[in-house]
Amino acid sequence: MTADNGGLPGIKRDVPTAIHVQISEHIRLRIASGEWPPHYRLKSEPELAQEFGVSRGTLRRALTTLIEEGLLRQVRGRGTFVTSTTIEPAIAQKLSTLSEDFADQGVVTTTTVRECALIAPPKPVAALLDVAPGTPVLRLVRVRRTEQGPVALLFNFVRTDLAPGIENIDFTSASLFGVLEGTYGLKIATARRTFGAEAAGPDVAASLDLAEGDPVQYLQQVTYLADDRPVEYSDVWIHSGRLRVTSLLLRR
């Protein structure tokens, strides 16, 4: 049996199952395996149609099935994304970093850098950053403190093809977005930010001066440039007793 696009497993022309059904199942497997994690943005329809070796109409029929199942979500002007397993109401707000918010409010903070090194990213992170598995990215791990104590633990993953040499920056004083925009001339435009609540694990608890199992706010973010390329992914745990997150809401 021959794959209809000369290589993708599971997509075959000489079987009774319709091609669009095979494509839907292939995408389901990618999502189920974690290869395409929540918030992963799919390639454009022309690119996917070429990858699967089918017409755009056939591809669109497969995507429509998955959208109706709730596995995918289309955002006008942004593309098609893998949905999360949790309900995520859309909240419009200003895209700013914790350091920028603290500065705007006149809050004095200090930053401890625990790690600033190139690594091979986990598969879900590589997918969200749209880089091939094994491609080096920056992993930046920091703890942000105010006079009250530690308030946030931040894990950032940054594409180094867009910011070569960024691992040499001293992030005890420099802000990540400031470096990306000021040093590398990148135009940060949008981000997808998701909030949740978690019980503090051992590392989070120790970093934030909490007891293991205490509740913490969890923030996950994928940041995009003006040309829609993802540039940064972050996991942030916030000490909810010392820091509250407020959103400026816009009605449509």
The domain of 194 spans 98-238
What is the percentage of the chain residues whose pLDDT exceeds 90? 42
Q: 76 and 115 share a domain?
A: no
Asked if the model's pLDDT at residue 10 lies above 60, the reply is: no
Q: 61 and 129 share a domain?
A: no
Q: How confident is the model at residue 176, as a pLDDT?
A: 93
| Confidence label for 109 from pLDDT (cuts 50, 70 and 90) | confident
* Domain-embedded: residue 182: yes
- The CATH number given to whatever domain includes residue 181 is 3.40.1410.10
Asked if the model's pLDDT at residue 52 lies above 50, the reply is: yes
* Domain-embedded: residue 87: no
β-pair type (137-146, 230-238):
unpaired
pLDDT tens-digit series, residues 153-170:
999 999 999 999 999 999
Q: 133 and 177 share a domain?
A: yes
Asked if the model's pLDDT at residue 80 lies above 50, the reply is: yes
Question: DSSP labels for the chain?
Answer: --BTTSS-TT-BSSSSS-HHHHHHHHHHHHHHHTSS-TTPBPPPHHHHHHHHTS-HHHHHHHHHHHHHHTSEEEETTTEEEEPPSS-----------HHHHHHHTT---EEEEEEEEEEPPPHHHHHHHT--TT--EEEEEEEEEETTEEEEEEEEEEETTTSTTGGGS-TTTS-HHHIIIIIT---EEEEEEEEEEEE--HHHHHHTT--TT-EEEEEEEEEEETTS-EEEEEEEEE-TTT----------
Q: 63 and 136 share a domain?
A: no
Q: How confident is the model at residue 107, as a pLDDT?
A: 59
Q: 71 and 110 share a domain?
A: no
| Confidence label for 34 from pLDDT (cuts 50, 70 and 90) | confident
* Domain-embedded: residue 12: no
The region of weakest confidence among 177-181, 186-190, 245-249 is: 245-249
What's the one-letter identity of residue 71?
A: L
* Domain-embedded: residue 61: yes
**Average confidence score pLDDT of the chain:** 83
Q: Nearest-CA neighbor of 27 among 36, 18, 19, 40?
A: 36
pTM: 0.67
* Domain-embedded: residue 162: yes
* Domain-embedded: residue 226: yes
Q: 150 and 126 share a domain?
A: yes
* Domain-embedded: residue 247: no
Q: 78 and 120 share a domain?
A: no
Tokens 């829609």 found at: 228
* Domain-embedded: residue 63: yes
Count: domains in the chain: 2
